[in-house]
Amino acid sequence: MDSLSNSPYVLIFPFPVQGHVSCMLKLAELLCLSGVNVTFLNSDIIHHRLLRYTYVVSRFSRYSGFRFETISDGLPPDHPRSGITGNRVVDIFDSIKMVTKPMFREMLLPGGCLNCGSRPPVSSAIADGIMCFTIDVAKEMGIPVFLFRTVSASCFWAFYCIPKLIEFGDLPIKEDDEMDRFVTGVTGMEKYLRLRDLPSFCRAIDLSDRAFQVITSETQETHRANGLILNTFEDLEESALAQIRKHIPNLYAIGPLHAHLKSRLTSPLRSSNSLWEEDRTCMTWLDEQAQKSVIYVSFGSMAMLSREELIELWYGLVNSKKNFLWVVRPNSVAGDGQNIPAELLEGTMKRGYMVRWAPQEEVLAHPSIGGFLTHSGWNSTLESIVAAVPMICWPYYADQQVNSRQMEDVTISLPPLIVVFPSPIQWPVNTMFDLAELLCLSGLHVTFLLTPFTNTLLIRHFNVESRLNPYPIIRHLQR
């Protein structure tokens, strides 16, 4: 009680889908590492799935100030929460607002499980930004509440501008051939954002569509919270962040969370909070491939493919004659496993490797990865940027259209790049390498200039390959 009672006590409450939960768990872990007490309020269903992966649970058991609590999402057990489409997200949203909200309130009342026993009272809450009902409950209890949105700043800004998009006649989109017209209603993005790049909810012909309405109204309510937290960084989304700040001054761009976490953990690459079992055999397969020879293909945790799309993509990959590592989640394809043409199976045997779920952050950091065919989910986008892997974007829905346009059009300036240039003798190289590693641990990108001779020395005597792998160090060989 004593050591816990001196530190702030934060309640974190994510919307119960994989992308939101795993991202907010990263935030929770970073807070724990900074000595903050955290209670993570998970839906029963998500928590049950998380418990299957003992490495996640045992990682969090290291933090004495951390605990999980659970709450019902209000849906019947047989509701198909996974394989989510816009409508199913709306089902979860409606049920949480109706059933979970009163439970959440009870839990926060004196004597409720979030406000009793050996723990100090909750001093602030960080709630998912698409659950604005938490603002009302927290205000009633006198607790400051910060909203966390898992989307990019650009996507949030596009959502925020929806009323303007309607006022300026951008929405509803009337004709298909309008799609390449630039939007007029999103200040700061008029030069590159086309109607087709707006979040997919904006394609609703009928503006009374529930998904469209939910996202619009939740975003408009953000300013009622004490602040907004985004998993992005200033150098990447400076202009969108500046626009949002005019309306929501308490805006915190604290990303990329996974990179901050990696630099703080002693075993940096095991920061995954996956709700699926990772198939690590693909790492051995990657070890056998040539440098930058493999295209990694993954469409995240929710996108569903039709059988036609699967086959078309498969032909594309096999005919590209490139090696590929492809994540095909169970039940993510309609008519899964039926009559796959023999030439595709043969092509995959030669150059491909398929898994149901990969340790994605590790995969992207692997030297044999040369590109990422992605659905442009925001977490995948950030992970690819940090690993410096070029992306081919195939946006599917929700925020993915905005993200992919941004990656195509906006120049990314990565965090400051430091060049370490040691003299070409053995000992300074070794010491300078220690310095480079320290800089990397502080989140900087480092280029290390070497002669071929000193490079060989480093590899032979100091086992640098395994030390280098986790960091964004670029080795540059000098003549």
Sites of contact with ligand UDP (CB under 6 A): 18-19, 22, 272, 274, 298, 300-302, 327, 357-358, 360-361, 377-380, 383
Q: Which is nearer to ligand UDP, 19 or 347 (CB)?
A: 19
Closest by CA position to 200, among listed 87, 79, 81, 330? 87
Paired tokens of 309:
């799309």
Q: Which of 91, 128, 170, 399 is catalytic?
A: 128
Contacts 24+ apart (CB under 8 A), 213-220: 214/90, 214/93, 214/130, 215/130, 215/159, 215/162, 216/159, 216/162, 216/163, 218/129, 218/130, 218/131, 218/132, 219/129, 219/156, 219/159, 219/160, 219/162, 220/160, 220/163
Residue 230: CB minimum distance to ligand UDP, A:
13
Break the chain down into helix, strand, coil percent, rounded to 5. Answer: 45, 15, 40
Residue 128: CB minimum distance to ligand UDP, A:
13
Q: Which is nearer to ligand UDP, 225 or 297 (CB)?
A: 297
Closest by CA position to 381, among listed 206, 155, 161? 155
Closest residue to ligand UDP, based on beta-carbon distance = 377
- Helices 452-462 and 426-441, axial angle in degrees (round to 10): 70
Residue 348: CB minimum distance to ligand UDP, A:
17
Residue 430: CB minimum distance to ligand UDP, A:
34
Question: Does 77 sit behind a cis peptide bond, omega within 30 degrees of 0 on the bond before it?
Answer: no
Specify the DSSP class assigned to residue 187.
Answer: T
Residue 399 falls in the annotated catalytic set: no
Residue 78: CB minimum distance to ligand UDP, A:
23
Closest by CA position to 430, among listed 474, 453, 461? 461
Q: Which is nearer to ligand UDP, 197 or 437 (CB)?
A: 197
Q: Which is nearer to ligand UDP, 86 or 172 (CB)?
A: 86
Residue 20 falls in the annotated catalytic set: yes
Please report, in angstroms and rounded to a whole number, the separation of the first and last CA atoms in the chain. Answer: 61
Q: Which is nearer to ligand UDP, 18 or 154 (CB)?
A: 18
Reported as half-sphere exposure (CB side, CA atoms, 13 A), residue 329 has a value of 18
Q: H or E element: which one contains 418? A: strand 417-420
Residue 173: CB minimum distance to ligand UDP, A:
23
Catalytic positions are: 20, 128
